[in-house]
Amino acid sequence: AIQLTQSPSSLSASVGDRVTVTCRASQGISSALAWYQQKPGKAPKLLIYDASSLESGVPSRFSGSGSGTDFTLTISSLQPEDFAVYYCQQFNSLPFTFGPGTKLDI
Amino acid sequence: EVQLVESGGGLVQPGGSLRLSCAASGFTVSSNYMTWVRQAPGKGLEWVSIIYSGSTFYADSVKGRFTISRDNSKNTLYLQMNSLRVEETAVYYCASASNPGAEYLQHWGQGTLVTVSS
């Protein structure tokens, strides 16, 4: 199975900061990667798919990039509602594994 | 509007069985890949299973014990879970995408809690 690692595992930031989260795959996955945001007690929410495509309705301050093994999720200017846990997931080969998550807090 | 509603969770003893349901509205389960994902308390997301038009796949940890299926007439997805283990205590989510053939997870249910304990 393809392993995904995320860094950092946790991150403290402030409103207005630019934040980058990294996801690394144990082998090449082309652009078959998605990013999700999860808030406490809620289901995950899709932010980015195919590594860099913004899901409809998601603010443009979120962006994704990368291909192969290295991917990034960037939030250009943090808003109060962005404090959450972020997960990457690969769709290149089964099982469709998730990364361990990055907790973003104040 | 797409909506997924899970049900069937609850308390079950180790070694027991449970069947989860996921009722869909706003799209057709037979036309989309449907997925189960679980999350143990305080832990990350774990992919469990997916059903395509003619095939099913499972995480190694559940292979041979869990069965994913769907009833197109009821527009409902199922997860039959047998030989449950304590460590499988988790919130179980069903998820899918609106675009047929898409494997990323646009739509999620609210989740149903499965507690495996004696």
Bridge partners (DSSP) of residue B24 are B4
Identity of the residue in B47, B104, B110 whose CB atom sits nearest the CB atom of A43:
B110
Angle at CA B22, nearest 5°, toward B17 and B27?
Answer: 155
pLDDT, one tens digit for every residue, chain A (106 residues):
999 999 999 999 999 999 999 999 999 999 999 999 999 999 999 999 999 999 999 999 999 999 999 999 999 999 999 999 999 999 999 999 999 999 999 7
The total of other beta-carbon atoms located within 10 Å of residue B10's CB is 11
Asked if B44 lies within 8 A of A100 by C-beta distance, the reply is: yes
Q: Sort out which chain A residues have CB atoms less than 8 A from B58's CB and list them.
A: 95
What local confidence, expressed as pLDDT, does residue A48 receive?
A: 97
* Three-state DSSP class for residue B117: coil
Q: Which two tokens stand for residue A91?
A: 């769709």
Residue B101: partners with Cβ closer than 8 Å, 6 or more residues away: B33
What local confidence, expressed as pLDDT, does residue B23 receive?
A: 97
- Within chain B, which residues score under 70 in pLDDT? none
- Nearest Cα residue in chain A from B46: A98
Contact A2, A27 (CB under 8 A): yes
At which residue do the structure tokens 């991917």 appear? A71
What local confidence, expressed as pLDDT, does residue A10 receive?
A: 97
Q: Sort out which chain A residues have CB atoms less than 8 A from B51's CB and list them.
A: none
Strand B56-58 and strand B3-7: pairing? unpaired
Strand A102-105 and strand A10-12: pairing? parallel
Asked if B103 lies within 8 A of A96 by C-beta distance, the reply is: yes
Identity of the residue in B37, B44, B105 whose CB atom sits nearest the CB atom of A46:
B105
What local confidence, expressed as pLDDT, does residue A95 receive?
A: 96
Nearest to B35 by CA among B78, B1, B75: B78
Asked if A44 lies within 8 A of B108 by C-beta distance, the reply is: yes
* Three-state DSSP class for residue B113: strand
What local confidence, expressed as pLDDT, does residue A43 receive?
A: 98
What local confidence, expressed as pLDDT, does residue B14 receive?
A: 98
Identity of the residue in B60, B104, B109 whose CB atom sits nearest the CB atom of A43:
B109
